[in-house]
Amino acid sequence: MKENTTDVFANAPVPKAVMVNVIPSIISMLMVLVYNLADTFFIGQTKDAYMVAGVSVATPAFLVFMAVGMLFGIGGTSLISRKLGEGDHEKARHTSAFCFWSGFLIGLVAAVFIVIYAEPICRLIGASEDTVGYASQYLRIVSISIPFLIVSNSFSNIIRAEGSANVAMAGMIIGNLINIVLDPLMILGLHWNVAGAAVATVFGNLFSAGFYVYHIMRRSAILSIRPKDYAAGDGIASGVFAIGVPACLNNILMSFSNILINNMMADYNDMAVAGLGVAMKVNMIVVMLLIGLGVGVQPLLGFCYGARNRRRYLDVLKFTTILALILSMIMTFICYFGAEFLVKAFLDNDDAFTYGFTFSRVYIISGPIMGILFVYINAIQSLGAALPALILNISRQGLVYIPVLFLFRAVFNTPVMLAVAAPVTDYASATLAVVLFVIAFRKYFKKDPVPAPF
């Protein structure tokens, strides 16, 4: 039975409309987090810190292709939700098919490239002689699932644009649970180690993508992946890319900046690299929850903008901002005081643990403002404001972070101060996000004075 599920966007009370959309999104992101932590946890049980470092080195390369999924997922969600607010279901359907087939074909090309060049890529991004074997083995295997990864990442967002937040959540849960269940079996039970983690990831991406394809073909009244519905003209490709490219660039720059700091940390030793990789995963507990909040509310904001319902848009944003501040403070407290326990779960080596614990405490300094950052990034994207989205996305991981990183290395030249570059950048980016949102909101909603965003 085909279902039309956008009624809650238009008619539900604001708290209900926000919670119905953000709770499944937050759960989805937490499942992604659990999957990421599980990979590192079970590899850590091998008691080989070089394996942990190898996977940490390979991860940024894989993130580049996750960025392609973000291009079509974030860009497609923004355009589809706005078109649904306008009542243009036909263009929403064509946009969905465009995102599916474009992403899948890019994934096929990327998979072949990575399989062939995995080892030189890993050496380029910071693998040492001790870790290059593990890193290239992991990357070569997971690259097989790149087409499915792109589809899964794209449609875990796009399906929310039609109001099916629970379906989007279910697809993420299915893929990540399969991965989590297979991790101990393949890493420890079969003693496949890094290869086992990679194979589990392949199966997780395959089943998640398959679930979304089934939903669209059987149950969605709005979205389509039929080849005959594929269309790139009439503002579809440009509308997707206008918001999707900045989101993609953010992820690519994040990957590049991770490669950069891994190389800098490798100048000290491999244990610093292992500690940094675990600290990033601990910090993800806060980051993924708040990304889920921001991503979850974006389709609702986009629908309100498409319907030109200015009052409802601001009410949704105000409620979400308050919720983001509360969650940010709670999660910062948990991760700061739980850092020792969390890092010990992944690292047995004393030197690697010391680095991981110290870096975790440094990274969580930005916790209190992370909710504001991600809510306003998504608010800007919901308006289809291409230039502010581009400025913000290239600033956080590139124009701000990379100069700060090099400055701190030149002035302090210590592993801890390299880690401090991240929270410094986050505070600057959160301020920039609010300023750019106010500018974009004044431009796109031109009537009436603009109330304070929070």
- Each residue's pLDDT tens digit, 297-349: 988 998 999 888 899 999 999 999 999 999 999 989 988 888 888 888 777 77
* Cβ–Cβ < 8 Å for 242, 386: yes
Burial readout 355-387 (b: 16 or more C-beta within 10 A, e: otherwise): bbbbbbbbbbbbbbbbbbbbbbbbbbbbbbbbe
- Distance between CA atoms of 123 and 129, rounded to whole angstroms? 9
Task: Give the lowest-confidence range in 222-231, 287-296, 338-347, 370-379.
Answer: 338-347
User: 447: which residues sit within 8 A by CB, 6+ positions away?
Assistant: 310
Q: What is the pLDDT of residue 453?
A: 43
- Distance between CA atoms of 448 and 126, rounded to whole angstroms? 53
- Distance between CA atoms of 403 and 236, rounded to whole angstroms? 35
pLDDT surpassing 50 at residue 3: no
pLDDT surpassing 50 at residue 451: no
pLDDT digits (tens, 9 = 90+) for 134-147: 888 888 998 888 99
Q: What is the pLDDT of residue 5?
A: 57
End-to-end CA distance of the chain: 41
Q: What is the mean pLDDT of the chain?
A: 85
Mean pLDDT value across residues 239-260? 82
pLDDT surpassing 90 at residue 213: yes
Task: Give the lowest-confidence range in 41-50, 89-98, 191-200, 398-407.
Answer: 41-50
pLDDT-derived band of residue 454, with 50, 70 and 90 as boundaries? Answer: very low
- Is the C-alpha dihedral spanning 350, 353, 359, 364 positive or negative? negative
In the chain, the percentage of residues whose pLDDT exceeds 90 is: 29
Q: What is the pLDDT of residue 428?
A: 92
Mean pLDDT value across residues 429-441? 93
- Distance between CA atoms of 139 and 30, rounded to whole angstroms? 23
